[in-house]
Structure 1
């Protein structure tokens, strides 16, 4: 069962262009087995783009990814039914800074399972995350990605993120979005 404070108002049913039913909702502790299977099923390339390294998340990290402190973070997942079982398609998340000075800025992340990429899942999840973050008082979303992660860079630009190569590390591009400005379509 979802924890106290679970943001059930964010649940949304949606359909891909091919008619596939998708449920978008906040992740919760009971999703640990499904989330573990999702992460294990990512290709090496997708995992590398998400973590900026070839490492795989450890069990304690996966536990932390599903046990959310809804006051300072949010993780939204897209799921669908496959052979009678709920399957995770993707996840987006933000985590606020830990000090009062940085609590208005949140790091964000997005990863979509390989079978579900290029089907609108990332755009839908990110729009929902941006709206939820703004509603929660977050003023800026920020992250980094690899300079050659063309899918993430294209998504960020479509959503209105400022995209800038890191002058100190040419392999990294910084992404920033002020939430007081409307996102682009």
Structure 2
């Protein structure tokens, strides 16, 4: 139930389910505990320890401005590990990776920066991943995007930091709105880019305006994706069910649309209703969206004859991630759904997701059991007859993902 789904379907009970879920999620976020450094107690200082910070500040483009800034940081015993400049029409945004004494608050750093002429300063904690220099990081993201169409939203998020990414499908004519220039549009905290398939990719970061440099990098990633066309990793895994049958799990996309529709035809109305929460006749209309790598990743389970008997979806939903399963009736209660779900969760961990959620009904005992079988902390929420189960991903899942990756490579 991503927001894109409501954009590309006629009004059905699906929208009512989506509206109920997003109302619940909004309330959950409003009542979430504070996460900023200033609202929670700081950890006790460890002698000789250091803290990494990411900071941006705007300085006037005049001789000596950067030197004054560096001097102010040095006065707080803060080391500059890296510096990137983002030229603006007036002034320059300087982006720093800093290392300061443990226990030095962010406010002390920003006060020193302001005294040296820095304006509109933003700062947050960094970690070891930020130690990779910008060119290396961008090349790595480009390589991942080149190998897999589904990597584009994740690559944009890693490139631009905490942001919300939405993909809007192309209008009936199959082209992006005429009002959107070929090179896209940048408006402070929102950028719009022409998607390769004709739609629009919207990236929002309310807490920090985008710079022209970031806009150019994001546009280059989208253009790379467009030039390479549809592509998926070719790997596939064969595993044996408890009963002894061998089945194959592989990535799928819109090129599997016909086989997925054939599986729909073999599913009972009850199975389709439990999966899609709406009129059974609309189920086929969802598939093109669900199989698109623009909105997430799909795993297909197929038999030795090549027939698809199960689909698992990992859908990017703004800054959250949804998991969804559909298993053909004849293959249910044989471990197929549990295998799909464990692999989807491993993908979510690899993508850096902190949680995944499933939207289902309390009567869907198979999905509820599969979520419980993950062995993760679960949150349950019921809205208008719809059950939302959220699994929080932790160290145990990271280890499972690493083990799964090792098994797949062997």
User: What TM bracket, shorter-length normalisation?
Assistant: 0.7 to 0.9
CA, structure 1 residues 5+133, in 2 after alignment: closer, same or farther (shift >3 Å)?
farther
Q: Deviations over 1:50-83 (max 9, x none)?
A: 01123333655322233322xx5111111003xx
| Residue 94 of structure 1, aligned match among 294, 305, 314 | 314
8 Å CA contact 2:272, 2:283 repeated in 1: no
TM-score by length of 1: 0.81
8 Å CA contact 1:144, 1:172 repeated in 2: yes
Q: Aligned partners of 1:149, 1:130: CA distance in 2, in Å? A: 19
1:162 corresponds to: 378
- 1:65-104 matches, within 5 Å, as 65-69=290-294, 73-81=296-304, 85-98=305-318, 102=319
8 Å CA contact 1:157, 1:163 repeated in 2: no
CA, structure 1 residues 108+20, in 2 after alignment: closer, same or farther (shift >3 Å)?
same
Matched, 1:140 2:324: no
Matched, 1:152 2:367: yes
Aligned residues: 170
CA, structure 1 residues 46+163, in 2 after alignment: closer, same or farther (shift >3 Å)?
farther
Name the structure where strand makes up a greater proportion of residues. Answer: 1
Q: Aligned partners of 1:145, 1:161: CA distance in 2, in Å? A: 18
Cα distance, 1:165 vs structure 2: 3.9
8 Å CA contact 2:300, 2:312 repeated in 1: yes
Q: Deviations over 1:18-61 (max 9, x none)?
A: 33221101112321111110112110110110011233336553
- 1:41-60 matches, within 5 Å, as 41-57=266-282, 60=285
CA, structure 1 residues 161+34, in 2 after alignment: closer, same or farther (shift >3 Å)?
farther
1:177 corresponds to: 391
1:117 corresponds to: 332
CA, structure 1 residues 29+51, in 2 after alignment: closer, same or farther (shift >3 Å)?
closer
Name the structure where helix makes up a greater proportion of residues. Answer: 2
Q: Aligned partners of 1:161, 1:57: CA distance in 2, in Å? A: 33
Q: What secondary structure does 2:306 align onto? A: strand
Q: What secondary structure does 1:152 align onto? A: helix
8 Å CA contact 2:379, 2:391 repeated in 1: no
CA, structure 1 residues 138+56, in 2 after alignment: closer, same or farther (shift >3 Å)?
farther
CA, structure 1 residues 120+32, in 2 after alignment: closer, same or farther (shift >3 Å)?
same
Larger Rg computed on CA atoms: 2
